[in-house]
Structures are given as structure tokens and as C-alpha cells.
Chains A and B, each alone.
Chain A
Amino acid sequence: MERYYQPEVECASREQILAWQNERLVKQVRHVWDNVPYYRKKMEEKGLTPQDIQGVNDLKKLPFLTKDDLREAYPYGLLARPLADCVRIQSTSGTTGRRVVAFYTQHDIDLWEDCCARAIVAAGGTREDVCHVCYGYGLFTGGPGLNGGSHKVGCLTLPMSSGNTERQIQFLIDLEATILCCTPSYAAYLAESIHERGLRDKIKLKAGIFGAEAWTEEMRQNIQEKLGIKAYDIYGLTETSGPGVSFECSAQTGMHINEDHFIAEIIDPETGEVLPDGEKGELVFTSITKEAFPLLRYRTRDICVLNREPCPCGRTHVKMSKPMGRSDDMLVIKGVNVFPSQIETVLLNLGMDPNYQMIVERKNNLDTLEVQVEVNETLFSDTVRNLEKIEKTIAGALQSVLGIGAKVTLMEPKSIQRSEGKAKRVIDKRNLF
């Protein structure tokens, strides 16, 4: 039998959901207008005042926000409440240049954790469960979000954070964890490690909630079989709160968006036009309940489809497909957002020509990044030692800027694939979408 964390909300009638959205949107636009000069200016440039937004139908009049806006307004430009009212920040994994800092009041944290609790209950979680959270804790939203949701459900929560696979497996066994929360690639890696050690019979897991990176249906089957669990997808982004913006139910056919907190739109990434339901386009979110960091029409750059068909699980909130790609060049590698331009910056800062190519692969379900750099005469040295030193210097700089390790390979000039004279900067062999 399907269970819900907040049935009156999750299974509310469409009329009720629309009524909430209308009311909350109007209130939110007023709140932003009054407290966020950055966005108010954007509205004024379009000749808008809060009176122009009477409900969801008027949403399309509002200007978009993008990651560039967040960067420009960093750190406080989009803050809508006094800092004294805020209790937490979380941040994206990007570099200093691209870093996004999101602020939360206690109210915001509560609502975020409710969203995560809905995801845990949808995955079968109850207060009897032991919830093993090995998303990273800290600035990353994964750990704190699921941790809070698990508390709300009343699960015994294991705040494992990431890394140390031996210890993860030990706790899974000794504390008889029943729900696993982590990135899908780490879940696959854990499954493999457990399988190799012949420990499958000692594991009591029944479900997993996996998000923060793209994964395929095949990967889901693989994890489900190896661990004997049901694997559920969860979606979110720091800009809108973190994981729990949407989550999968027992139907496992898309993620229900928590529409009482977020209004979703699909737009044409080229023109910005809103597309009808069922069409593929860029996902845009409007936060209608957040107090401290309420983004209106935030462009996620994720390409997906919305589905409003009734769901057998009984939830009435719209479902989004797994993201099918990006409308920009951002890559998610090991759960970390990476832009090719960051590699270019690293090389330029080292005084090198930015002739590079990124090769992203998934080996044993873990992402790997190789950065190939062309060696020109200024870089070339006659000794192996010096060339290896160059590789180490580049690798060190990449690690500190990207926050993930990369293997650096020196290449001959012009060896990087060029099509129509333009170098192809990214080769992603992962087949994620």
C-alpha cells in the first residue's frame, strides 16, 4: 500500500494545488519586489509591478534568473530576508567563480526537509527504518537534506557522509540499514564492493534514494539486482533548496515535483517561450514558499519533459522525466558541476595555451575525468622529469579549482580532435541520457 508523508498535500486535488500556487506566487512576487532590489530592477526593466502577477497564468511575464545572475549577485544580492533571520547556508560544488551560496531561514529548512521526508516515505520509509546517508555532508546539500528528511520521518539516521567504503559496508551490516541515500554511482560502487566480498546476504537494505547526478535505467536495474532493493531517483538543486524538489514514487516512472513549493515550467532554451506539457525543453523553477532565497523563474539548464497523467501511486503532483541533457555545457562529474571554461582558465592562469580536451568516462560505475593538454614548444622540455612536473602542476591546479581529481595527459600539438576548425572540448563516453 502506498504511503505518504503529507497525504493531504501530496494527493491534493489539482484545483487545490493551483489555488495554493496562485496565492503563494502573488505573495512571493511581492516579497521579492520589496526585498530583492536585483530582481525588482529586472521586473522594472520589463515594465512590471507586482500587480501584474495575479496568478500562475501571469508567471510567463516574469524575467528569468540564470546562474550568471546568481554569480553577479553573489553573495547577498538575491537574499530576501535579513541575515539575522537566516540560520544556514549551503553551496554548490563549483569553483569560486561559479559558486552559488543559498540562504535558509528555519522555515526554509523545515520545508526542504519535508520535501526530503516525502521522498523517503515514497521509497517505503517509516520510523522503523534505519536510513544510511552517504551523500557528502557540509556545503553540499545532499547529506544535510536527506539527513533532515530522515529525522522528520523518524528513521534512525546514520550520518555517514561520503568515502571510506569499508566503514560504509561495516555500518550497513552492523546497524542493519534498510534505506541507502547516496549518488547512484556510489550506490553502484557499494553494490559492486558488497557483491565482491560475498556480503550480499548480510545486507538488510530494501530501498535506495539516489540523486545529484544523471543515471540510466540500466544502472537502476544493476543496482536493484546487486543489492536486492528498489532504487528511487531524487532531484534537486542548491539554488532551489537541494534534493527533494522532486522524487520518485513506487511507479518509478518520473519524479513528482513538490508543486506546493515549486512551480515548474518547460521552456524553449533558445527563445524562452513556455512550451506545452509533454514537450521537451528546459526546466524552470519558481520557489513560492522560500523566504530567504526565493528564486523566481530560475533556469535549471536541465532538459526534460513534464507529465501530468494521473499516477497510479495516488500523488497528484506533476512528474518530470529524468533530465535528458543540458542546455549549456555544464557536466556533472562525480556529483560535481564542471564547466569546460574552468579548465581553460586553469591553463591560462598557468601561462599555457588552452588547447585541451576533457574525456569523461564511467569505469566500474565511477566517473573519471582525463584532461588532455597539447604540448607546444614553450611547454616542451627535453626531460621526462620536467614534463611530469608540468602534468602534476596542471593536475594540482585542476584539483583545487574543480574540487575533483583529474588525470592529465600531455598530447602532441593538433592531436585533439577538431571539427570544422573548432576543437571538440568534451568527450563524454558515459551515455547518461
Chain B
Amino acid sequence: MQIQQLSVFVENKPGRLAEITEVLAAANIDIRAISVADTSDFGILRVIVDKPKEAIETLKEHGMTVSLTNVIAVGVSDHPGEFSRAVRLLADTGFDMEYMYAFISRDKGRAYVIIRTNNGQKAAETLQENGFDILSPETIYNM
């Protein structure tokens, strides 16, 4: 139940993020979730899109360094304590979280968290066993 995320190397220069996302727009690719990790000289753009295979192809054609990374998407209900319950569970069951980012869904009262851990498949199972909603790739891509 893992989802494919695109990770793109971004040089730290003005307009670069706009250029990359314009490439996606031109290929009619819809962005589901997005996050940028940055350091003083470079960044990593992480995006979940509706058509990951097409997206990676078009980005590569434009000479960008891009890779696919497996992440999990967890649905949590939008009230206090839900997110912390999920991360506590992962921590207590021994998963290392490398990074995460969240977005709110169109469905009222729900939020989604994208998580990258050292063992995504196992983490997804653990969360599911404890009542969390793990989104399938199709759900996310067609959202």
C-alpha cells in the first residue's frame, strides 16, 4: 500500500521551483501533495502527482535529477491528538521517520499525512492494524 512520490533535486536559485512545476503543468500533471526540504545551497522537491510515471519522464526529458520514492499516505480524522497517536505508534513500534508532510482532504473532517519511514510496507500494516486509514495509490492518484 505504498505510494510513489517524486523527489527532484533543486538547485538553490531564483525561479527554479517555478520552472520545475511549469514542466509538470505543461504535461498536464496534477499535483496532489507537495513539500520542499531546503538547505543553504540546494533543496529537494517532493511531490505526489496523479501520473507519477509520466511526470518522471517529462522531468527527465527536461534534464532534471529525479527519483521515485515509496511513501505511505495515512488518513487521520481532523481532531486533536489523532496525528500524535499515529506517530507515537510508529515510534513505539520502532520505525524511524525520515520526513513527513500533511495536507487536508476535500472530505470534511479528514487530513492526510505522507510519511517516509525506513520500512514503509510494515509501517502501513502497523497503522492499519491500529485503525488508521492507509490510502491506496489509486485513491491518491484519482483524488
- Which residues of A line the B interface, CB within 8 A? 375-377, 380, 382-384, 387-388, 409-415
Contacts and interface: CB of A to CB of B under 8 A. Distances in A.
Interface residues of B, number: 20
A358 to B, nearest CB: 16
Interface in B86-117: 98-99, 116
B63 A413 contact: yes
Interface in B6-41: 7, 9-11, 16, 37, 39, 41
A118 B118 CA distance: 68
A382 B65 contact: no
B3 to A, nearest CB: 14
A343 B44 CA distance: 26
Contacts of A387: 9, 39, 42, 44
19 contacts: A375-B42, A376-B65, A380-B7, A380-B9, A380-B67, A382-B7, A382-B44, A382-B46, A382-B69, A382-B98, A383-B44, A387-B39, A387-B44, A410-B11, A411-B11, A411-B42, A412-B9, A412-B11, A413-B65
A384 B39 contact: yes
Given A384-B37, A409-B41, A410-B41, A415 B65 contact: no
B9 A410 contact: yes
A375 B16 CA distance: 16
A382 B63 contact: no
Contact of A412 (B10, B37, B99, B116): B10
5 tightest CB-CB pairs across the interface, nearest first? A382-B7, A412-B11, A382-B69, A380-B65, A409-B41
A379 to B, nearest CB: 8
A409 B41 CA distance: 7
Which of A376, A411, A412, A415 counts the most chain B CB atoms within 10 A? A412
A409 B9 CA distance: 13
B67 A382 contact: yes
Interface of B: 7, 9-11, 16, 37, 39, 41-42, 44, 46, 63-67, 69, 98-99, 116
Nearest to B38: A384
Contacts of B9: 375, 380, 387, 410, 412
Nearest to A380: B65
A384 B44 contact: yes
A392 to B, nearest CB: 12
A415 B116 CA distance: 29
Interface of A is mostly: loop
Interface of B is mostly: strand
Given A384-B44, A387-B42, A409-B41, A414 B63 contact: yes
A79 B99 CA distance: 61
A383 B99 contact: yes
Given A376-B65, A380-B65, A409-B41, 17 more contacts: A375-B9, A380-B67, A382-B46, A382-B67, A387-B9, A387-B39, A387-B42, A410-B9, A410-B11, A410-B41, A410-B42, A412-B16, A412-B63, A412-B65, A413-B63, A413-B64, A415-B11
A412 B64 contact: yes
B8 to A, nearest CB: 9
Contacts of B65: 375-377, 380, 412-413
Which of B11, B39, B64 counts the most chain A CB atoms within 10 A? B11
A36 B89 CA distance: 77
Nearest to A384: B37
Nearest to B68: A382
Contacts of B116: 382
Contacts of A377: 65-67
B49 to A, nearest CB: 16
B5 to A, nearest CB: 8
A380 B46 CA distance: 13
Contacts of B10: 412
A413 B8 CA distance: 12
Contacts of B66: 377, 380
A383 B98 CA distance: 8
A285 B87 CA distance: 72
Nearest to B60: A377
Contacts of B37: 383-384
A314 to B, nearest CB: 55
Which of B42, B98, B99 counts the most chain A CB atoms within 10 A? B42
A376 B98 CA distance: 22
Nearest to B16: A412
A375 B41 CA distance: 13
A411 B39 CA distance: 13
A375 B42 CA distance: 11
B21 to A, nearest CB: 15
B99 A388 contact: no
Nearest to B43: A384
B117 to A, nearest CB: 12
A93 B116 CA distance: 46
A376 B65 CA distance: 6
A388 B64 contact: no
Contacts of A414: 63
A341 B66 CA distance: 29
A248 to B, nearest CB: 42
